[in-house]
Structure 1
């Protein structure tokens, strides 16, 4: 079986070109080079990588989409699920292509550095581009950890019927997640991602079945006539800011492809990365269509956010209890990705990176528990779940997941604009992708800020560091 191979295959490095002098002293070697007595990080097969990607994407993403569909309507919602899914898949492929050309790449910040040098930036300006990208990357993944920690604290509140302060549940979630995330190798996290994936899929299926057999949504009036709110079109009075924010919630639910790139550095055969991407994104797009549209069709405007609360208090408790391993696994991945980025940055080109020294462990544990703690603080300070997911998509994933991959294509196809007709068409297609990424980043940030302000005006947002039940279980949610 492919998963049991132990050989390590290196990637083929492109022959130097005339412009390669721009790359300075970049050493084309893999990030995790195992010496004597070192830890062999490069043990991940493509099946395990695809499961890592699936669990990274499926947890928080699927829980936010049904609520977003109400602001878009079923027609536009289905379109955006497919459109963003295809775009994010393609952008993941572009990131992998650049990584395989330059094995020194660990995160997309390294890719941005190489791209800047290839485009003629000075070494200083290329370094600035890398540092900006690194900051955005870390901020985005720490924010993702915060969103996921919030989701886990909601689950603990729901299952326990708000047995204690929500801040306490948040801290418990942080400690559990950071401890699990401190397992060093992605390969060793494999069984956790499998268990987590099965648990979250089971929980979602329970909710989907439960909403389908109820006479009316749990949150709707239980007697008399009521307006379901299901429509193929957006509801009357929907503003651009509201609709675009909902679209970005769908976008960000599969836009975390910048987190895929570090996994390549731990794969036995980096070339198999593309198999893992296609398997992951095919499942993500099809399952989002099936699960989210079904929940929206039966709940309409009465859908909860997160969606596991849409079938009433009893089903909500059952679903959240089953989903806890999945929520732990999803949050763990966010912390692991952010922590390992810092870890590699600090220890790169030293023996401590792959040897189990005291320095190795001190830096590694500081990175995982530190990023997890920052994520927990963010989840307590920002008490709006759906809008926070959209904000992650706008501020981070628009730049990391769309703009930069388009730029990578230009770098890898420098002569396309003056090439054949097909190459010129592709050049303009990727210009369109770049502009789309800019629209997501700029327009999305504006839409989310407006949406969050409106939520505060309407009293739909709680207070920071609140002990109140964030799962709405006590209120009957």
Structure 2
């Protein structure tokens, strides 16, 4: 099926199957090679089409995409891993960072390959529809939104912590959370990923610089800032930890969540000028993320041990804490902005797909978009206020959300497109069953990780580590 060109703009031909993603279900796509060059058949099934009249979403290059991916991934994760290392120990913690990072990169490859074989797929929910039907699509879509809103809550929590640290807890934490939420709504309401590009550059630079300041700062202190400043104290650094089952699973879930956000990369692919460049952005992003997580976390844990602040930007003492949070505040806000944006974009496309309003500047277009960003930001604010401890929010996102959509479903996607490998050569058969093993790992992380995090949250409330819901208490330990 050929696309026609008029004034250099590709016109969408009538779809082969009325535009219904589900109608492709059951077809064997393994081995297909659909070119996404302009005018080819696959290009016509992209959710966003080049247009001269409405909103042209297809404007993101692969370098811009790399920075968006980096900002989605490198932010909240790097500030929680040192605490997880205390439970696991330096060596198992480092192996977890490398192992989960490599697996998340591979999951990104699976999703990218599947998406390019099935170019109608704008999101992970569309992919679920291809392999499992409408019910699985709705469940996956709901889980996708819930996961990223939990992550957005971590951005709000981090920003409120920063404002508390900078002001020495000048007012109720809920007010700081509200201010952060308003800022996130404004930024997240920018419709196109391309227009968010400069924010992602600035946000990544701010967080990276803030973390680097803390990493250098902790090495200059005679003892951790949170440790007793006189007398003998136990650093708590060990090469191999001896955690309980719940502690180990919770720590692993936290590290896993720090780099498992590849499902959020998929909507960005739909706005890339050439979706085939996705892997360049993926490999560049994950290489930087894993290297940074590994080096920064090992240094902070080595010098702070059990006295790592949560988030870890407060680990170098009160002065450097203010410096780090002052520099990193923009990055924390941009993180929340991206998480709200990607969730809102999924709902927005889900509502307006195949309608003229999707790429037209109509009242319905703008009303739908703004309603999505505002409502999701409010939900994120409520979650941040209910679970005001940074590490627990990220751990909950990892076990309850990322494990199903970043382990179980990607394994299913691969099996769907490579079903013939089960009876092929021995090596292909091994690869086939290893992907089912990956799905079982996802089930374990979902059940065990969620139980561990919930148990930790209940214990923290019981012991007074966490204040009451909507508490005004200082979450930066500044006063």
Using structure 1 for the length normalisation, give the TM-score: 0.91
* Partner Cα separation in structure 2 for residue 66 and residue 72 of structure 1: 10
Residue in structure 1 matching 2:120, options 104, 115, 119? 104
Residue in structure 2 matching 1:52, options 62, 68, 75? 68
- Residue ranges of structure 2 left out of the alignment (5+ in a row): 1-7, 18-22, 28-41
Aligned pair 1:136/2:143, yes or no?
yes
- Alpha-carbon deviations, 1:386-413, whole Å to 9, x = none? 1121111001000001111100110110
* Partner Cα separation in structure 2 for residue 83 and residue 149 of structure 1: 29
Which position in structure 1 is the counterpart of 2:407?
402
Residue in structure 1 matching 2:282, options 263, 269, 277? 277
Which position in structure 2 is the counterpart of 1:95?
111
Which position in structure 1 is the counterpart of 2:4?
none
Residues 49 and 263 of structure 1 are in contact (CA less than 8 Å); yes or no, is this contact kept in structure 2? yes
After TM superposition, give the deviation of residue 453 of structure 1 in Å: 2.2
* Partner Cα separation in structure 1 for residue 426 and residue 282 of structure 2: 29
Task: Show the 5 A alignment for 1:68-467.
Answer: 68-116=84-132, 126-235=133-242, 238-467=243-472
Q: Which moved more, 1:81-90 or 1:383-392?
A: 383-392
Aligned Cα root-mean-square deviation (Å): 1.9
- Alpha-carbon deviations, 1:22-75, whole Å to 9, x = none? 47xxx9610012444111100100000010000001110101101110011001
* Partner Cα separation in structure 2 for residue 232 and residue 22 of structure 1: 49
* Partner Cα separation in structure 1 for residue 232 and residue 290 of structure 2: 35
Residues 137 and 400 of structure 1 are in contact (CA less than 8 Å); yes or no, is this contact kept in structure 2? yes
Q: Secondary structure at the match of 1:343?
A: helix
After TM superposition, give the deviation of residue 443 of structure 1 in Å: 1.2
* Partner Cα separation in structure 2 for residue 22 and residue 94 of structure 1: 18
Residues 9 and 50 of structure 2 are in contact (CA less than 8 Å); yes or no, is this contact kept in structure 1? no
Residues 156 and 180 of structure 2 are in contact (CA less than 8 Å); yes or no, is this contact kept in structure 1? yes
After TM superposition, give the deviation of residue 449 of structure 1 in Å: 1.8
Distance 1:299 1:90, change over 3 A: same
* Partner Cα separation in structure 2 for residue 174 and residue 460 of structure 1: 24
Q: Secondary structure at the match of 2:120?
A: coil
Aligned residues: 449
- Residue ranges of structure 1 left out of the alignment (5+ in a row): 1-6, 117-125
After TM superposition, give the deviation of residue 21 of structure 1 in Å: 6.8
Residues 113 and 130 of structure 1 are in contact (CA less than 8 Å); yes or no, is this contact kept in structure 2? yes
Q: Secondary structure at the match of 1:424?
A: helix
Using structure 2 for the length normalisation, give the TM-score: 0.91
Which position in structure 2 is the counterpart of 1:121?
none
* Partner Cα separation in structure 1 for residue 321 and residue 400 of structure 2: 31
Distance 1:8 1:470, change over 3 A: farther
Q: Secondary structure at the match of 1:371?
A: helix
